[in-house]
Amino acid sequence: MEKDNKETIEGFRLSPQQARLWLLQQSDQRLPYDARAVVLIEGSLDRRLLEAALEQVVGRHEILRTTFRCLPAMTLPLQVISEKSRVAVQNYDFNGQGDHLDVAREPRALPGAPFDLESGPLLQTAVAQLAPEQHLLLLSLPALCADAAGLSNLVRELSLCYASCLGMAELPDEPVQYADLAEWQNELLESEGTEARREYWRKQALAELLALKLPFENRRAEKAGADRVVLQSLPAALDRDLASRIKALVDRSGTSLPVFLLGCWQILLRRLTGQPEIVVGASYDGRNYEELQGALGLFEHYLPIGCRPEENLTFVEFLKQLDELAREAHAWQECFSWEQIEIDGYKGEGVPFFPYCFEFGDKCASYKAGPVTFSISHQSACIDRFKLKLTGLGRPGPGDALSLALHYDSRLFRRDDIARMAEQYMTLLGSAVATPEAALTDLKILSQAERAQILRRFNPAPPSLPPAQVIHQMIAAQEPKARAVVVEEQELSYGELNRRANQLAHYLQKMGVGPEVLVGLCLERSVDLVVGMLGILKAGGAYLPLDPGLPAERLAGMVADAQPRVLLTQRDRETERRRDGETERRRDGETERWRDRETERQRDRELSDGETERQRESDNSAVSPSLRLSVSPSLRLSVSPSLRLSVSPSLRLPSWCVWMRIGSGSPRRARRNRRSV
C-alpha cells in the first residue's frame, strides 16, 4: 500500500482584515507591514519580573502565539495557535549616552530580525536602559497580529501582568481570543442581515477616485519599482494657540477634531489635484463593540470617506456634512470589505488601495504598576498600503498640544514637496479657523512667503520698454551721415533717405494718399525702392508691392484686383505697360514727375503732428508681408481710382526685414537684378 504523504493543517480562518493584508503582502512585499511601539518605563524596574510579565501576556492572548501556515494549493493561510511561545528579550545599555534619543523617536532605530510568519515567534522585544530608573521597551509585531489600538491594549495588559508579578493586583478574567472574533467577523459579512449595509459601500464609485495623483508625484518611480518601499515621515507640530482655536471651533460647530483635520486634508487634496471629489481612506479601529475595546489583534481598517461639496458651501457647512458621513461610516464599518466591493474600471496594479489616507490617534495613556509607570512615547502601525498619509495625535499636557505628521513613500515624493505641502496644510488650518463662514474656494493654502515667491520671483514684472516708435521715427533718429542703403555703386545716408522720403510723402498726400489708401509700388531693386516704401508710409498710406519681373498679364490682374488709387512705377515700366495695351487714368491726363513739381525746401521738411498721427494709425496696415526688391534709375507716378487693400503673393522678401535692418542703424544692401521682361 502506498503511504499517504498529504500534509494537513488545523487552524482558524483569517479575519477579513487579515485576509486583505495577506493579499497585499503577497502582491507587494516592499512595505513594512508591522506594528511597533516604544514604551517609556520610569521607576525601579526589575527586568526579571518584566520578562515574566511578558511571558504572562503571551500566555493570556493567543494572537501573540499565532503563526500563519499555508499549503501550496491554498490562497489564504490559516491561523495556527501554539500552546507555548518563548519570549526573547534583547538588552541594550545607553546609560549616559545620547543614542537613545533616536530610539525614543523611531521604533525602527534598533535592528530586528524579519518576522517568520510560519514558524514564529512573532513578538519581538528589546529593553534599552537610559538611566538607572529610566528604560525603553521596544515591542514589534507583524501587522497580521496587531494594530495601533492593539499596541495600547498590549501595554495595558503588560502593566497589569507586571503588577500581578509584584503581588499587588490580580489579573482580570481571561480575555476574548482573536480567533473567535475573526470567525464572528466572517459570519457577519456572510449573513443576509447585513446586505443593506454592504450595499451602502458598493454604491460608491471608487475606480476613478483611486487613480488620482498629485501633480508632483513621480509616476516613473512607481512603474520602475524598487526592492523596498521606503516610508518616511515629516512631523508638523501645531502651535498651542492654533490648536486651542481649532478645538474651540470644533466645539462651536458640534463636530470633532478628527473631522476638522480630515476636512482640511480633503480640501487641500482637492485644490492640488483639481478634482471636485476626493476619496480619503480614513482609519477606523474596528472596535465599535464593548467586547472589542480591550482586544488584541488586527481590527483597524481604512474606509472611504468622500463627498462632492458645492462650490459656495461654507467651511462650517462642509464640516457638518463630512461629520455625518464619518458617523455613517463608523456605524457600518464592520460591513466594509474590499472583496465584496466590485471596482469597475480600476486600472491600478495588484490589490486596490487608497492612495491618500488619514489617521487620528487618541492621547497616549500611562499605566501604573506599583513603583513603575508604563507610557507609550511613540508607536506606528502599517496595516495597509498608501502613498501619502496624514496622522494626528492629541497629547496630554498644558494647552492640549496637537501634533501632526505626513507619512509618504519616498520613491514617489520628494521631501521638499512634502514639506511645502505640510506648510500649505498649516496655512489652510489657520485660514479655516480665522474665517469659518467663508466659502471653500476662498480658503487660503499659500503662506505669505510662498505667495510672494509665486507673484514676484516666478512672475517678475516685465522690463520697462522704450516708448513705441513707428518706422519713419526710428529712421529719423539715426545718425544723418551714416549709410542707410547701399546698392552696388549707389548709396544713401539716413539724412538723404529721410529727405527724399519726405519729398515723396508730401506729394503723395497732395495726390490724396492717407490712411487706408493703397499705393501700388512696382520698382526694380534700387535705392528708389526704399525711398518709395518709406515715402508711402510717411504719407500714411499702404503700399502694394508689385514684382516687375512678373508677366504683364499677371501684373495687370493684380492691379485690377487691388485697384490702387496711385501707382508708383518707373518710366521704362510705364512704357512697357502702354505697349502691352494697358490703359490708365492719369492725373490731368499725363504722367507727373514729382521731383520737378515741388521745391526742395518745401518737401524736405518733416510732416506735421496731425500728419504724423495719420501715419501712426496706418502703420500696421502699411507693412506688406513680402517684397521683392528691384532696381531702376527713376520714379514715376500714375493715378488710378480705387480704395482696396491687397497683398501680392508673389513677392519674396518680407518687408519687415528691410525695416529691421534700416531702423536699427544697419545699412540695407541690395544686389542689382539685371533680368529683362
| % of the chain at pLDDT higher than 70 | 74
Same domain, yes or no: 134 and 250: yes
Half-sphere exposure of 402 toward its Cβ, with a 13 Å CA cutoff?
19
Same domain, yes or no: 33 and 129: yes
In this predicted structure, the answer to whether residue 298 has a pLDDT above a threshold of 90 is yes
Exposed / middle / buried, residue 218 (Cβ in 10 Å: 0-12, 13-18, 19+) = middle
Residue 235 pLDDT class (50, 70, 90 cuts): confident
Joined grid coordinates for residue 460: 517678475
pLDDT tens per residue across span 346-396? 555 677 888 999 999 877 778 999 899 999 988 889 999 899 999 998 764
The neighbouring-strand residues paired with 391 are: 359, 405
The closest of 293, 298, 283, 25 to 145, measured between CA atoms, is 298
Joined grid coordinates for residue 230: 521606503
pLDDT tens per residue across span 70-104? 888 888 999 999 988 788 888 887 765 555 555 55
Same domain, yes or no: 527 and 410: no
**Omega prior to 564 cis, within 30 of 0:** no
Q: Are 234 and 406 in contact (CB under 8 A)?
A: yes
In a domain, 200, yes or no: no
pLDDT, average across residues 246-258? 90
In a domain, 306, yes or no: yes
Same domain, yes or no: 230 and 137: yes
Same domain, yes or no: 483 and 407: no
pLDDT of residue 104: 54
pLDDT of residue 220: 54
pLDDT, average across residues 279-306? 90
Same domain, yes or no: 39 and 168: yes
pLDDT of residue 582: 40
Boundaries of domain holding 403: 16-191+206-218+225-340+349-456
Joined grid coordinates for residue 426: 498649516
pLDDT of residue 74: 87
**Backbone region of residue 536 per phi and psi (left: phi > 0; alpha: psi in -120 to 50; beta: other values):** alpha
In a domain, 11, yes or no: no
In a domain, 485, yes or no: yes
pLDDT of residue 105: 54
The owner of cell 529712421 is: 475
Q: Which of 456, 487, 507 is the last residue of a domain?
A: 456
In this predicted structure, the answer to whether residue 592 has a pLDDT above a threshold of 80 is no
Residue 571 pLDDT class (50, 70, 90 cuts): low
| CB-based burial, 270-280: b 16+ in 10 Å, e otherwise | bbbbeeeebbb
pLDDT tens per residue across span 477-522? 888 888 888 888 888 888 898 888 898 888 888 888 888 889 988 8
Write out the DSSP string of 489-547: TEEEEHHHHHHHHHHHHHHHHHTT--TT-EEEE---SSHHHHHHHHHHHHHT-EEEE--
**Mean pLDDT, the chain, whole residue set:** 78
Q: Is the pTM of this model over 0.75?
A: no
C-alpha distances out from residue 465 to 210, 620, 660, 661, Å: 50, 19, 17, 20
d(CA 178, CA 292): 9
In a domain, 371, yes or no: yes
pLDDT, average across residues 189-194? 74
625: domain CATH number? 3.40.50.980
Same domain, yes or no: 394 and 502: no
661: enclosing H helix or E strand: helix 655-663
In this predicted structure, the answer to whether residue 60 has a pLDDT above a threshold of 60 is yes
d(CA 208, CA 345): 8
Q: Are 407 and 391 in contact (CB under 8 A)?
A: yes
In this predicted structure, the answer to whether residue 668 has a pLDDT above a threshold of 70 is no
d(CA 196, CA 643): 81
C-alpha distances out from residue 409 to 218, 403, 643, Å: 10, 20, 71
pLDDT of residue 616: 39
pLDDT of residue 390: 94
Residue 584 pLDDT class (50, 70, 90 cuts): very low
Exposed / middle / buried, residue 595 (Cβ in 10 Å: 0-12, 13-18, 19+) = middle
d(CA 15, CA 22): 10
Q: Are 506 and 611 in contact (CB under 8 A)?
A: no
pLDDT tens per residue across span 11-43? 999 999 999 999 988 887 777 899 999 999 999
Helix (H/G/I), strand (E/B), else coil: 375: strand
In this predicted structure, the answer to whether residue 652 has a pLDDT above a threshold of 90 is no
pLDDT tens per residue across span 387-412? 999 999 876 444 556 889 999 988 88
Q: Kindly report which listed range (130-139, 183-192, 351-360) carries the lowest average pLDDT score.
A: 183-192
pLDDT, average across residues 279-290? 88
In this predicted structure, the answer to whether residue 120 has a pLDDT above a threshold of 90 is no
Residue 253 dihedral angles phi and psi, to the nearest 5°: -85, -10
pLDDT of residue 362: 78
Same domain, yes or no: 378 and 502: no
d(CA 645, CA 640): 14
The neighbouring-strand residues paired with 636 are: 569
pLDDT of residue 179: 94
In this predicted structure, the answer to whether residue 663 has a pLDDT above a threshold of 70 is no
The pairing of strands 134-142 and 124-131 is antiparallel
Q: Are 64 and 153 in contact (CB under 8 A)?
A: no
Residue 635 pLDDT class (50, 70, 90 cuts): very low
Domain count, the chain: 2
In a domain, 329, yes or no: yes
320: domain CATH number? 3.30.559.30
In a domain, 97, yes or no: yes
Q: Which of 406, 424, 456 is the last residue of a domain?
A: 456
The closest of 325, 341, 246, 282 to 16, measured between CA atoms, is 341
In a domain, 464, yes or no: no
Q: Which of 393, 424, 456 is the last residue of a domain?
A: 456
Same domain, yes or no: 431 and 577: no
pLDDT of residue 658: 64
Same domain, yes or no: 541 and 665: yes
In this predicted structure, the answer to whether residue 604 has a pLDDT above a threshold of 60 is no
Q: Are 492 and 501 in contact (CB under 8 A)?
A: no
d(CA 610, CA 612): 5
Helices 315-331 + 257-273 axis angle, to 10: 110
In this predicted structure, the answer to whether residue 162 has a pLDDT above a threshold of 90 is yes
**Alpha helix stretches (DSSP H) within 340-437:** 415-434
Instruction: Please give the DSSP secondary-structure letter assigned to residue 378.
Output: E
Half-sphere exposure of 295 toward its Cβ, with a 13 Å CA cutoff?
23
Most confident among 234-238, 409-413, 461-465 (mean pLDDT):
409-413
Strand order in the sheet with 483-487: 490-493, 483-487, 668-670
Same domain, yes or no: 521 and 425: no
Same domain, yes or no: 480 and 449: no
The closest of 300, 272, 281 to 413, measured between CA atoms, is 272
